[in-house]
């Protein structure tokens, strides 16, 4: 975890947590739109020992940083971190009280509402802000993109070019 928070008294900041294995156009759109609402955004990659990821946490950080470089040209607006344990503890550590999540279909709602309510009950100052996925991204998930790529389908429309290249390279290594 980073010891320095992106936020200061005069700027607004939010955390966008997730697995991002790998980042898709859906994630990217939520990041872009979050930056119209908040000055800075911390993308927080959950280190989840229960899932076998395609990309290591270090690889995911590097890939997302490369895709978000364009937002940091004038000043740092996006930082990428990893965390383990409770999101509320990470948020407290970052001195941030807003979490951004994307909502695709109504099927996301139950899980997301449960998480938001649990987080609120653990940390009452934490607010979860939901952004509705763009229609064209509403059927995209990291796992379905990985499945399509594994079956040699074309993933050009679903992920940024740098991520597509990384996925194809991973699969060519037998992942
Ligand atoms: P998690 O395992 O925490 O759901 P994901 O990486 O799958 O991690 O998703 C992180 C966040 O991004 C979640 O809020 C999810 O709803 C959102 N998200 C994922 N795919 C899309 C998409 N296509 N459009 C909008 N939001 C999305």
Q: Which residues neighbour 97 within 8 Å (Cβ) at sequence distance 6 or greater? A: 91, 123, 125, 126, 127
List the catalytic residues. 27, 51, 104, 142
Distance 111 CA to ligand 1 centre (A): 12
pLDDT tens by residue, 55-110: 999 999 999 999 999 999 999 999 999 999 999 999 999 999 999 999 998 878 99
- The pTM assigned to this predicted structure is 0.93
Give me the pLDDT at residue 12, please.
95
- Whether 19 is in the pocket of ligand 1, judged by its Cβ within 6 Å, is yes
Give me the pLDDT at residue 6, please.
59
pLDDT tens by residue, 8-61: 556 899 999 999 999 999 999 999 999 999 999 999 999 987 778 999 999 999
Distance 18 CA to ligand 1 centre (A): 6
Name the CATH topology of 13-172.
Rossmann fold (3.40.50)
- Whether 142 is in the pocket of ligand 1, judged by its Cβ within 6 Å, is yes
Give me the pLDDT at residue 3, please.
45
pLDDT tens by residue, 96-149: 999 999 999 887 899 999 999 999 999 999 999 999 999 999 999 999 999 999
Give me the pLDDT at residue 5, please.
55
Burial letters for 7-39: b for 16+ Cβ neighbours within 10 Å, e otherwise? Answer: beeeeebbbbbbbbbbbbbbbbbbbeebbeebe
């Amino acid at each position: 975890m980073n010891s320095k928070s992106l936020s200061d008294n005069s700027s607004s900041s939010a955390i966008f947590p997730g697995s991002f294995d790998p980042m898709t156009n859906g994630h990217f759109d939520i990041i872009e739109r979050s930056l119209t609402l908040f000055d800075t955004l911390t993308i927080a990659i959950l280190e989840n020992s229960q899932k076998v990821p395609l990309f290591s946490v270090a690889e995911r950080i590097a890939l997302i940083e490369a895709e978000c470089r364009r937002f940091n040209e004038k000043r740092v607006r996006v930082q990428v971190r990893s965390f383990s344990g409770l999101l509320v503890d990470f948020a407290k550590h970052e001195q941030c009280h807003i979490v951004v999540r994307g909502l695709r279909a109504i099927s996301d709602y139950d899980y997301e509402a449960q998480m938001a309510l649990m987080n609120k009950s653990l940390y009452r100052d934490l607010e979860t802000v939901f952004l509705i996925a763009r229609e064209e991204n509403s059927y995209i998930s990291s796992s379905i993109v990985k499945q399509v790529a594994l079956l040699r389908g074309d993933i050009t429309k679903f992920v940024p070019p740098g991520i597509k290249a990384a996925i194809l390279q991973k699969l060519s290594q037998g992942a």
